[in-house]
Amino acid sequence: MSEVTQILTAVRSGDAQAAGRLYEIVYAELREVAAQKMARESVGQTLQPTALVHEAWLRLGADAQPHWQNRAHFFGAAAEAMRRILVDRARRKSARRHGGGVDHVELDGIDLPVPADDDQLLLLDEALERFAAIDGPKAELVKLRHFVGLTTEQAAQVLNISEPTAKRWWAYAKAWLYQACRESGPGGRQAP
């Protein structure tokens, strides 16, 4: 049994300090995957990996952690939280009332971000929602790989599947999502 699973069991048992220990243990791992994810984001992304981890932790319940079934359940929820944070930011940035479609200049620093590709993130989110309705386990793999930044091996461990299965699922999911985004994107027809 992994240390994370043991601490999750302690959280379920009502151990008041377990949530703090959980945060200490998973923080470094979540920070690493957030940094990997943020490195793949557009140059204009102003959200820092540390901020993404902290906001995800707060959304997961912070010190009042829910009863996680196991490590996979926790990291799946973390992946979903990070995905929702990034999608919410993209929606806010592209909202017309917030100047969507207009180049933004950060006045608080010397950082002048180029326009982020929020439309693609929103398109992917919509396609992923449709995909989750069709094949939930493969959609979870996508969330872990794309939004948390886990490797195929790490995602397979979290989902408790073999690495070859994870590779097959990843190939299938990428192809499905590519086609769905292509059909829903500019000039494409809306996918069913």
pLDDT at 46: 64
Q: pLDDT at position 112, please?
A: 27
CA distance 94 to 152: 31
What pLDDT does 164 receive?
93
Q: Which pLDDT does position 87 carry in this prediction?
A: 80
Residues present in the chain in total: 192
pLDDT tens, per residue, the chain with 192 residues: 677 778 878 877 777 777 778 778 778 777 876 777 666 665 556 677 778 888 887 887 776 777 777 777 788 888 788 888 888 887 777 665 555 554 443 433 333 233 346 777 788 888 889 999 999 999 999 888 877 778 888 889 888 999 999 999 998 988 888 888 888 766 554 444
Is the Cβ–Cβ distance between 97 and 51 less than 8 Å?
A: no
Give the integer Cα–Cα distance in Å for 107 and 111: 8
Q: Which residue has the tokens 């196991």?
A: 70
Can you give the residue ranges of every domain in the chain?
Answer: 3-184
- pLDDT for the residue 110: 31
